[in-house]
Amino acid sequence: MSKVVLITGASSGLGKATAEHLNSLGYRVYGTSRDPKRYADSFPFPLLALEITDEESIQHCVATILEKEGRIDVLINNAGVGITGPMEEIDIKAVRENFSTNCFGPLHMAQAVLPQMRDQKKGLIINITSIAGAMGLPFRGVYSASKSALSIISESLRMEVKSFGIQVCTLAPGDYATDIASRRYHAPVLEKSPYKKVYQHSLDTMNTHVDAGHAPHELALEIEKIITHTKVNVHYHQGPFMQKLSVILKRILPANQFEKLIMNHYKL
């Protein structure tokens, strides 16, 4: 029997590439978008409406699939948004919104699918975090923190649901060439800001990295591998070599030395 897979945020980028790939392999894939009508009929899998910050929308999305399929075997919490800005200046409302999408939303999705996964005594939840969540990056602190929080939540959840036959993991991508940068919340580069020059330089660096990132299809292949494992690891990291190396360096180097590397990279 083909697994039923729910992928949030499948209208573009990594979610779309993954949904298309799994669909082509015969999985019963359901993707989501806040506004599926915008993409009418251009997807080979059903694209359901989902606003991940809205409880009613979450319940409705999950109930629609359960009604049709009777089960959800895999939840891929992929929907997410970027945010940049100097910590001193960033709008707290934008910070809250980012956490609502990147951290509280995925937790809420997990809460919605878990009762049925517990009933069937199996299930897999893959939370898409980010390599940026393994460290505090300058002018990306909120994004790093929201992904890091989701990573820690995943560790706790994983232990709590193991005895029900449910597996949880995170998959942290480095840079992949999607349009995520165009949809990011950017705190404005203020003319009189003391951070103007360094913030602008960091923005340029970030955008170059995303554009030069790996092809989204490569991440889809990694997700396929995870789904087919019988024993799933706690964390996976994928993407450019130097970005994966940074996760290891963060663990083994003294904090001050690691900070120096990051500051040199961003010319701070």
Tell me how far, at minimum, the Cβ of 97 lies from ligand NAP, in Å. Answer: 8
210 touches ligand NAP (CB under 6 A)? yes
20 touches ligand NAP (CB under 6 A)? no
Structure tokens at 146: 């929201």
Q: Residue 159 CB: number of other CB atoms within 10 A?
A: 10
141 touches ligand NAP (CB under 6 A)? no
Q: Residue 215 CB: number of other CB atoms within 10 A?
A: 12
Tell me how far, at minimum, the Cβ of 20 lies from ligand NAP, in Å. Answer: 12
Among 3, 4, 6, 15, binds ligand NAP (CB under 6 A): 15
Among 6, 29, 52, 134, binds ligand NAP (CB under 6 A): 52
Spatial contact of 175 and 73, defined as CB atoms under 8 Å apart: no
Q: What is the dihedral of CA 252, 255, 257, 262, to 10 degrees?
A: 100
Return the residues of window 82-111 that contact ligand NAP according to CB under 6 A: 101
Name which of 109 and 195 has its Cβ closer to ligand NAP: 109
Q: Which of 27, 30, 39, 143 is catalytic?
A: 143
Please name the helix (run of DSSP H) or strand (run of DSSP E) that holds residue 140, with its range, or none. Answer: none
d(CA 125, CA 73): 9
12 touches ligand NAP (CB under 6 A)? yes
Among 68, 162, 183, 217, binds ligand NAP (CB under 6 A): 183
Name which of 36 and 195 has its Cβ closer to ligand NAP: 36
Total residues contacting ligand NAP by CB under 6 A comes to 31
Among 61, 74, 90, 128, binds ligand NAP (CB under 6 A): 128
Strands (E) located in the chain: 4-7, 28-33, 47-49, 74-77, 83-84, 123-128, 166-173, 185-186, 235-238
Q: Is 143 a catalytic residue?
A: yes
173 touches ligand NAP (CB under 6 A)? yes
Buried b (16+ CB within 10 A) or exposed e, 229-255: eeebeebbbbbbeebeebbeebeeeee
Q: With 0-12 CB in 10 A as exposed, 13-18 as middle and 19+ as buried, what is 75? A: buried
Question: Which region among 3-11, 159-167, 186-194, 255-263 touches ligand NAP (by CB under 6 A)?
Answer: 3-11
Rounded to the nearest angstrom, the gap between the alpha carbon of residue 31 and the centroid of all alpha carbons in its chain is 14
Among 180, 189, 226, 247, binds ligand NAP (CB under 6 A): 180
Name the residues annotated as catalytic.
143
